[in-house]
Amino acid sequence: MLPSTTPTVIDVLNTLLELAPAHLAESWDNSGLQAGHPHSPVARLLVALDPTEQVLEAAAEHGIQMVVTHHPLLFSPLKSIDLSQRIPGILTGFLKKQIALVSCHTNLDSSRGGVNDILAAIIGLSSTRPLIQGENTEREGTGLGRIGSFDRPRRLEEIVKIISNGLNIPCLPVVGRPDQVISTAAVCGGSGSDLWLHAVRQGADLFVSGEIKHHVAKEAEQLGLAVVDGGHFHTEWPVVPAVAEYLREKATRKGWRLEVMVLKEEKSPFTFWINEDTRSGHAIRPFSI
């Protein structure tokens, strides 16, 4: 057994890069260290989807030294550190509280075992392959989106139930007929609307993603492609507990004293408003998931 040691920020980041190599990130992306000192020790770590005020507060409350998120805090260069603005305020909060922030974004989208492999597994796809190659995804099994097949042809309504249960989302916008037969499906976690034609060209019967555009849905309908919009948050959030478990396993193998936590209270910014009786004029009842 290895002697117990406390890892540093760079130790954890390098371990994450074994799962999601930096070269897989798209050129416009800004994955990696967002804030903090690379050689600071890390005994407690929090994994989340977004670097928000809620995440920062939870990290401070639980004595966290490092936060790992999927979405980066910094996309564009800051022209000033104006603390009245949201992003500089969050960044300054991480620095003041001496909590390091690391993000794995499009490299985790394209990697094996990342966002899209997890999404494909949730809906029951097998024999999956990347839907398209990313900018630097020559490595086998890496690329944007996934396409694969079901163990048998299934009705669309059956698959929608699987997606609803797997993503913990009771309401799903769907294009297609309930009895439509689906054998092959393509997925892209997050905002993957632009990949729908790749799904069509590769023979998919169904495309699952988030933030599906209106005109994409209309064209898909005309072509007979079923579409399920699982939302940006819900199609990506399953990678959060997966990354946490990956880090726990790596910590055990490396002999690290590292506690890894997940912010279970993190949720989509959207709520669903149900009009229970449009004829009676009753108030709309909001709920969140």
Residue 112's identity, in one-letter code, is R
Written as six digits, the tokens of 178 are 């309930």
CATH number at residue 69: 3.40.1390.30
In a domain, 52, yes or no: yes
Query: pLDDT digit string (tens) for 232-288?
Result: 999 999 999 999 999 999 999 999 999 999 999 999 999 888 777 665 555 555 555
Query: pLDDT digit string (tens) for 175-195?
Result: 999 999 999 999 999 999 999
Q: Which residues contact 15 (CB under 8 A, 6 or more apart)?
A: 7, 247, 250, 254
- Predicted confidence (pLDDT) at residue 166 exceeds the cutoff of 70: yes
Q: Structural domain tally of the chain?
A: 2
Query: pLDDT digit string (tens) for 258-269?
Result: 999 999 999 999
Q: What is the pLDDT of residue 17?
A: 98
Would the pTM count as exceeding 0.85? yes
Asked whether residue 138 falls in the same domain as residue 32, the answer is: no
In a domain, 15, yes or no: yes
In a domain, 104, yes or no: yes
In a domain, 269, yes or no: no
Asked whether residue 138 falls in the same domain as residue 225, the answer is: yes
Domain that holds residue 218: 112-230
Return d(Cα 279, Cα 277) in angstroms, integer: 5
Give the pLDDT band (50/70/90) at residue 2: low
